[in-house]
Amino acid sequence: MTSLGINMINTIKCLEYVTTKYGTAENADVVFGIEILNEPIFWAPNDFGITKTWVAAAYNAITAAATNTNLQIITHDSFMGLQNWYDLGSAINGNLPSSQFAIDVHLYQNQSPDDNNLDVNGHIQEACSWGNTVKSSVLPWYAGEFSAATNVCVNPDGSSFGDNGTQECTVPGCQCTDTVSIDQWSPALKNT
C-alpha cells in the first residue's frame, strides 16, 4: 500500500473498521456484501490503473478483516464497463463460479450525448445490448442504479428522435421527455 496516497490508505482503514463490525459470520444473514467505492471517475486527475490498484488493496484488506468468508466485496465499474475489470476479477476470483469480488454497474440512458442521439427504438436496442453484455460477464455484477428515463422527443404519430439539443419539435403536438412535466405528457409520449 505504500504506493497509494494517504487518503486511499485512510479509506482502506475505514473499510477495515466497517468490515470488522459488519462483515462478521454473525451478520452473514444480513450483510452479504460491502461496496467499497461508488462511481470513481476514470478521467484526469484520476487514473483507472490507480483505481484498480486501490481496489485490489482494499479487497485484500477487507477480506483479511472479515470473518464472514462469503462476504462479497463490490466496486462500481468506474464507468468503464464490466470487461475492463475482467483482469482484476480473474486475479482475485480465479475460475470459481461464485466469488467474493463483484462489480456494480449503473444503467442509464439519459446521461451521455450518445444516448441523447437515440430514438425510442435505439433506446430499446441499447437496453437489450446490456442484457447480452452482462450475460457474458465472467464477474458477478449488480445493477446498483437503473433508470428507464430517456431524453427523446415524440411526434403525435409516435415517431421519435433523440433530444440531443440539435433537433427541435417542429410538428404541433411534439413533446420531449426532458422538457415537459410527466403529468402533461401526451398519449403519444406516454405510449413510447
Q: Tens of pLDDT along 146-182?
A: 888 888 899 999 999 988 877 788 999 999 988 889 9
pLDDT digits (tens, 9 = 90+) for 86-111: 899 888 877 554 578 999 999 988 88
Compute the mean pLDDT over every residue in the chain, rounded to the nearest whole number. Answer: 89
Helices (H) and strands (E) in the chain, counts: 6, 7
Task: Tell me what percent of the residues of the chain surpass a pLDDT of 90.
Answer: 53
- Global pTM? 0.80
C-alpha cell at 34: 460491502
> What is the structure's pLDDT at 130?
83
Looking at the structure, give the CATH architecture of the domain made up of residues 6-150: Alpha-Beta Barrel (3.20)
* pLDDT classification of 12: cutoffs 50, 70, 90: very high
CA atoms within 13 A on the CB side of 190: 7
Using 50, 70 and 90 to split pLDDT, how confident is the model at 135?
Answer: confident
Output the pLDDT for position 192.
Answer: 77
Query: In this predicted structure, what is the pLDDT of residue 10?
Result: 97
Q: Is-contact 96 67, C-beta < 8 A? A: no
- The pLDDT value recorded for residue 25 is 96
Domain borders along the chain are 6-150, 153-192
89-127 burial: b if 16+ Cβ within 10 Å, else e? beebbeeeeebbbbbbbbeebbeeeebbebbbebbeeee
